Amino acid sequence: MKRRNFLLYSTLGGLALSTSGLLTYAMAGRHGGHGQTSLLSPSALPDGQPLQPLPRITNLSDRSSMFRSALTAAPSEVALDDDRQALLWLYNHKVAPLIEVREGDELDITLINELEEDTTVHWHGVRIQHQHDGTPWDAVAPGESHQYRHRFAEGSAGLHWFHPHPHLGTARQVAHGLAGALLVRPAHDVVPPEVEEHLLLVSDLRLTGDGRVAPHTAADWMNGREGELLLVNGQRQPYLDVAPGTTLRLRLINACAGRYLRLRLEEHELTLIGTDGGLIEQPQPLDELLLTPGERADLLVRISERPGGGFQLASHPYDRGWMGPEPAHLSEVSPLLVIRTGNADVKPAVTLPDSLTRIDRLGEPAVRRQVELTEVMPGMDHGDNGGAMDHGDHGDHGNHGAQQGHGDHGAQQGHGNHGAQQGHGDHGGAGHEDMAGDAPPPVDFLINGRSFAMDEVLFEGRAGEVEEWEVFNNSHMDHPFHVHGTHFQVIASRQADGEWQDSPWMAWKDTVNLAPYQRLRLRMVFQEPGDWLFHCHIIEHEELGMMATVRIR
């Protein structure tokens, strides 16, 4: 990768190579492999099929500015081949469904829960009112329903997604396939209409030989689950046929629980035009792009003028600090999509405007916070990092609860939680014997020295105020950091032993990667009151405690 592009993207929390540390050494050999479970081979899935668009959720409203429908979360059978089915949990029995709206539209979605456990729908990346965010406090019991409503204001265009977010059930539900895409189109699109657009939702699965979702292993809990079946729009290694010279707009979602995507397209340079929160100000050329769990990217690429070509979009190896024996796929190139050029006439190049949008820099903060991500082995001193010093102008925004130690991930009450919750090692649940799996290994994933508790608030703030968070990844492995209820700007970054470097360009983000011992300065404004979560978006780390709450009044 060219140095200019490497430095450019790593400033925004992207590519930065991680190093293994003491924790990796301590865990080596203890939590590798997948037990004795017979897994479905990737070769059992058909590959080399034409790329299919995401299946759409039907709009049931007769109003042009309203999207009204239902999302039914339910067990579903999906054909793998002529005589084999995968047993998944899906919305409306669709793999990776799409909801498409426009700025100004109203969204009215009713979740119907036909699972045997609590669930929610979290609208990842949408600046929504708190009661519609789909948080663990608003879990929907089996057999019940819940209505989510939102109006997409001007300037909210972008590619978002939705997935479940129940307390101590998110990892299991994501592993079963519950996820979908939410596309908000602008009132006026600056991207020329001759650009050919494709949405690509990347997910992965691990299935047993009989098509059931394989249980979590201890390695999954430690590192974040990476399924052997890597899928694009529910397909394995599809292809896309285009005319030579076609300009493609590839809009990607990393919907994997733990897998990082280090994306390259053979013989092509990529142009980044948008991130989580929509378009960036000016196109940015990249040789490769790191897309971490939860992130989205909006890319343009002009395909080669050479007819009869085949170019592979693939994820390349990335060292994110894996703990324990590494599965073989970590060191392999993982194909996603092949783009093929036919014998048609060459399409002319497309010219983009010099400015795609305007992003006003957030001003000086009223509140500064310190956020520290750590992994702690049993017997090590957690320290008391929970004070998380706030240097605001209005009283105590500090911690509001006792420290939670290892294993204290059970029975948390309040906020509308439905009954007692499962403990640290109990991720099976009645009716889910096939997902009992391995107990999580004895490592705490913490924010400011604390494990998430449903009834604890770590920070307090006020709506409309600029906040600056210095987020420090004080650990040996990468963590993608996600904030609910707002978007933020990455103001500056600092590598482990380096100096602070200002970001060379602005973007609106809701998820950003932190390499080991990296620090980022993030500025944000919460416009809506409520209790908002922030957490690592490696789903297993979130579930094992690397999550906290900020209360906005």
Lowest mean pLDDT among 23-32, 74-83, 102-111, 121-130: 23-32
Reported pTM: 0.88
Per-residue pLDDT band for 36 (boundaries 50, 70, 90) equals low
Does 157 or 396 have the greater pLDDT score?
157
Give domain 3-33+193-341's CATH superfamily. Answer: Cupredoxins -  blue copper proteins (2.60.40.420)
DSSP 3: H
Per-residue pLDDT band for 380 (boundaries 50, 70, 90) equals low
Per-residue tokens: 31? 């939590």
The pLDDT of residue 11 is 42
For 408-434, what is the mean pLDDT? 37
Residues in the chain, total = 553
Residue that has been written with the tokens 């509308």 in this structure: 416
The pLDDT of residue 438 is 85
Q: Which of 323, 380, 289 is nearest to 18 (CA)?
A: 323
pLDDT exceeds cutoff 50 at 542: yes
Maximum C-alpha span of the chain? 68
Q: Which of 117, 80, 91, 325 is nearest to 208 (CA)?
A: 80
Does 496 or 194 have the greater pLDDT score?
194
Per-residue pLDDT band for 159 (boundaries 50, 70, 90) equals very high
For 168-183, what is the mean pLDDT? 98
pLDDT exceeds cutoff 60 at 527: yes
Strand partners, 552: 461, 530
Per-residue pLDDT band for 497 (boundaries 50, 70, 90) equals confident
Residues sharing a CB contact under 8 Å with residue 405, sequence separation 6 or more, in sequence order:
382, 444, 451
Looking at the chain, the whole-number percentage of residues with pLDDT higher than 90 is 79
Per-residue pLDDT band for 397 (boundaries 50, 70, 90) equals very low
DSSP 9: H
Residues sharing a CB contact under 8 Å with residue 221, sequence separation 6 or more, in sequence order:
438, 440, 441, 540, 544
The pLDDT of residue 18 is 34
Sheet of 106-113, strands arranged across: 84-91, 66-81, 106-113, 145-151
The pLDDT of residue 409 is 40
For 378-404, what is the mean pLDDT? 42
Q: Where are the domains of the chain?
A: 3-33+193-341
